[in-house]
Amino acid sequence: MQESTLHILHAGSLSRVMEELRPRLTERSPHLSLLGRGGGSVALAEEILRGAPCDLYLTADYRNIEDLLRGSGKLIRAVRFACNEKVLSFSGASRFAEQVNETNWFELLADPEVCLASTPPDADPGGYRTLMVLQLAELHYGRPGLAARILDNPKRLVLPAETPTHEINAMARSGVIDYMIRYRSSSVDLGFRTVPLPGEINLGDPRHASFYKKASVELHTAGGAITVRGEPIVYGAAIPESAKHPEAAEAFLELLLSPEGTAILERRGFTPFTAQIDTAP
């Protein structure tokens, strides 16, 4: 059988999952070689629209498939496959590392000596979800102006979209970055300390979906402005119509959604999306 190269563009938060899946795909399908690249899910979707090779797209926000890909092109298949939540992530080198807790974290982030970092909202769901968490925290704690105080902090850092994940992690471990509002999966898997956030603001509890909608962020994309509203975090996978190897992409999806793939997701801190729903028209 002729060897095929499977091009996968995936959310950066899935990098370690991809590392585990790669050899298992080779075992199942020796004729497939996997070429994967991580990044911000919004930026990757825009690459696909510009013609970048992609057989399978894995995004940290299923809405990116609906808002960016489905409306401007056709999809062979799209599924939801994992859930996550946001936590406050930090290291032993972070300022106030020994004092921060569930009752004071939002006040400490406004301290002028504290560096809160995030990825760019226009490129990455992790970035715009950070803004949503802060909006929801302001409402949940009844602290008008809280989000603005944190976001206007002179030490706040929005990292360039092309910053590699390993560099972000090194900055966080060294104390250059004090705190990030990261996915629980990334924080746990990489060994960072965390402060859990209330279900009302962590974007991970479907029971609070109506409250999450009170948060919104306007994204500036190549196709124009898009307003995204808060909702429970759900990862999605899509096979674009431009895929050169759709059968290979289906083989990878089969592995991802299998008990073996589900076990890897759980081990890496994700919650599998148990009701995989094929949403292709």
What is the tens place of the pLDDT at every residue in 53-97? 999 999 999 999 999 998 655 688 899 999 999 999 999 999 999
Amino acid at 144: P
Distance CA 207, CA 83 (A): 14
Spatial strand order in the sheet of 86-90: 157-158, 116-118, 179-183, 86-90, 193-196
Contacts of 128 (CB under 8 A, 6+ apart): 121, 122, 217, 219, 228
The CATH fold assigned to 86-221 is D-Maltodextrin-Binding Protein; domain 2 (3.40.190)
Q: Do 4-83+233-272 and 86-221 share a fold?
A: yes
Say yes or no to pLDDT of 31 above 90.
no
Rg (CA), the chain: 19
- Pairing outcome for strands 4-11 and 224-229: unpaired
- Split at pLDDT 50, 70, 90, the class of 168 is very high
If you average pLDDT over residues 104-120, what whole number do you get?
96
Q: Which top CATH class is 4-83+233-272? A: alpha beta
Domain boundaries of the chain, sorted by first residue: 4-83+233-272, 86-221
